[in-house]
Amino acid sequence: QMQLQESGSGLVRPSETLSLTCTVSGGSLETDSYYWDWIRQPPGKGLEWVGSVYYTGTTYYSPSLKGRVTISIDTSNNQFSLNLSSVTAADSAVYYCARENWDDLDDGFDVWGQGTMVTVSS
Amino acid sequence: DIQMTQSPSTLAASVGDRVTLTCRASQSVTDWAAWYQQKPGRAPTLLIFKTSNLNPGVPSRFSGSGSGTEFSLTITDLQPDDFATYYCQQLKAFGQGTKVEIK
């Protein structure tokens, strides 16, 4: 059974870059059935899609974050990563990595990491 | 961009109740929506995909319906484990959530 695990810095200073990695076990990233996504949730608030990457390296980003977000994939190490630049306190959130299942077209985000809290503070 | 609006924001119910949560899309792009359950401090879990398909392992008291811009999640015979926050999702957009509380 596939599992996802986020890792990275839990504290980032304002104006710096947030960097997180999602390590996937129990399956390969190199499949045309899935997209690999980042979703965040500020404390006490709802879910916000950040962006996604396909195994080919094709990326899609939230328009509200475009210009600050970069997602990359490393299929040899079964990892994908998120970089968010010029962070402010508004970027403080629990960040989840998730598998978006398109095996039979739009089957939802069916596997999630446990999430990692990132706080932006000096 | 699609906006998903859920109602109500909070719903108070009792064990054994039948509850219906609704979700409205700002435009009709697809007839598919998904629903997630989230408990405090935990990641969301997928309940329903493609509007009405139950994710494996999800109890049959959960059901989904809808099309176009209107979607709903119904829980029959509400159980103690069902008190949680529920999110709808279409493409990359999530609703703001409905919290199901104990009455």
The tens digit of pLDDT for each residue in B31-84 reads 999 999 999 999 999 999 999 999 999 999 999 999 999 999 999 999 999 999
Q: What pLDDT score was predicted for residue A104?
A: 80
What is d(CA B15, CA A70) in angstroms, rounded to the nearest whole number?
Answer: 45
Q: What pLDDT score was predicted for residue A48?
A: 98
Q: What pLDDT score was predicted for residue B1?
A: 86
Using CA atoms of B22, A99, B46, A46 in order, give the dihedral in degrees to the nearest 10.
-50
| Test mutation, B4, B46, B55, B62, chain A, max A CBs within 10 A | B46
List the 45-84 stretch of A: residues with Cβ below 8 A of B: 46-49, 52, 60, 62-63
Short-list B48, B67, B44, B66, CA closest to B57? B48
Q: What pLDDT score was predicted for residue A35?
A: 96
pLDDT of A75 over the 90 cut: yes
